Chain A
Amino acid sequence: MNTQNQYLKAIYLVQEQEDGPASTGKVADALDVSPASANEMIGKLEAAGLADHEKYKGVDLTDEGIKRARDALQTYCIIERFLVEVLEVEEFRAEARQLESVIDETVGDRLDTIIDRDPSCPDCFDADLDVCCHLVSDLDIDVEVESEAAD
């Protein structure tokens, strides 16, 4: 997943949490980058027709931006579930965050052929917990909100 897609996914999830435009600060926090970096990328997304940015209000994804963000989120869900189901990784959220920049949609689709993912994906994703809610119930695990970046 490239950096642009990681931003789209982050904006999408912040918008879901806020139920409205995403502030640059929250997007920057979500990605653990500086507000200046976030601003620069949001400008690029706007130029590419993927987002609309209004000063003091925040950023809204366009329809195309939402589509790309949802694809990126689905790939992320696949990575998380693959790590749990196939490689039995305990720290799957931290590792998924590390892997998402190098596992793109094509590779995600192939990994998807050996996991058991819910058809409602990616609507089942819980942005606060950074995990698919079905994965939590499947595993009967108690996940806590993580704020630290991956190692």
Chain B
Amino acid sequence: MSLSYPVASDHQLARLLQIGMVLEEVVEARAHKHYESLDEGERDAELEALLEGAAEESAGHRAELESLVDELEGDPVAYEEIEELVAARYEADTDTDGVLYDQLASEETAYKFYDDLVTAIEGSDVRFSVDRDRLLETLVAIREDEAEGVEEVTRLMEARE
């Protein structure tokens, strides 16, 4: 155990970006599972659009992170592998409230992760093999998407109250 700096090398940065990929894959896989598990009466176009949009956005973020991980010579994390892990431990929420709450937790968690990561990188003077500006631009844009995702789910939850 130590209080060593968390982003002190390409290797550590690649590891954190891999974790970002996994978080995105969890969002994507859970969004698909949520929709499958909902009772017929609980399904509607608005909810379907939200879950589809979340899954698509996560897939896009994953691709951007994968490109950075590649440049850092790290290994990408296969979506199929995470999808299997999510499915193995998934406990179905058969009502809309449970699904929306989980979706909110996913978006909030992703936001917190990218926020901490951006802060850590901004506070680091380490020279990475990826371009620092591109790295930060990518992560800040993803963080912004997550913030918007939180707002979108919150709006839908409020509208259904």
Chain A interfacial positions (CB closer than 8 Å to B): 3, 6, 9-10, 30-33, 86-87, 89, 95, 97-104, 106-107, 109-111, 113-116, 130, 149-151
| Per-residue contact bits, chain B 106-135, to A (CB 8 Å; 1 contact, 0 not) | 101100110011001000000000000000
Offer 10 A-B interface pairs, CB within 8 angstroms, sorted by A: A3-B3, A32-B1, A33-B3, A86-B77, A98-B6, A110-B23, A111-B23, A113-B30, A130-B1, A149-B4
Would A104 and B112 be within 8 Å (CB), given that A86-B85, A95-B15, A114-B89 are in contact? yes
- Give the distance in Å from the alpha carbon of A87 to the alpha carbon of B19 in the complex: 9
**Cβ-defined contact, B89 with A32, below 8 A:** no
- Give the distance in Å from the alpha carbon of A3 to the alpha carbon of B1 in the complex: 12
Note all chain A residues with C-beta closer than 8 A to B72: none
B7 interface contact, C-beta 8 A: yes
**Cβ-defined contact, A110 with B3, below 8 A:** no
**Beyond A97-B4, A98-B15, A150-B4, 10 additional pairs, beta carbon < 8 A:** A6-B1, A9-B1, A86-B82, A110-B105, A111-B22, A113-B89, A114-B85, A114-B89, A130-B1, A149-B4
Q: How many A-B residue pairs have CB under 8 A?
A: 91
B59 interface contact, C-beta 8 A: no
- Give the distance in Å from the alpha carbon of A111 to the alpha carbon of B25 in the complex: 11
B67 interface contact, C-beta 8 A: no
| Per-residue contact bits, chain B 28-50, to A (CB 8 Å; 1 contact, 0 not) | 00100000000000000000000
**Cβ-defined contact, B1 with A102, below 8 A:** no
**Cβ-defined contact, A10 with B1, below 8 A:** yes
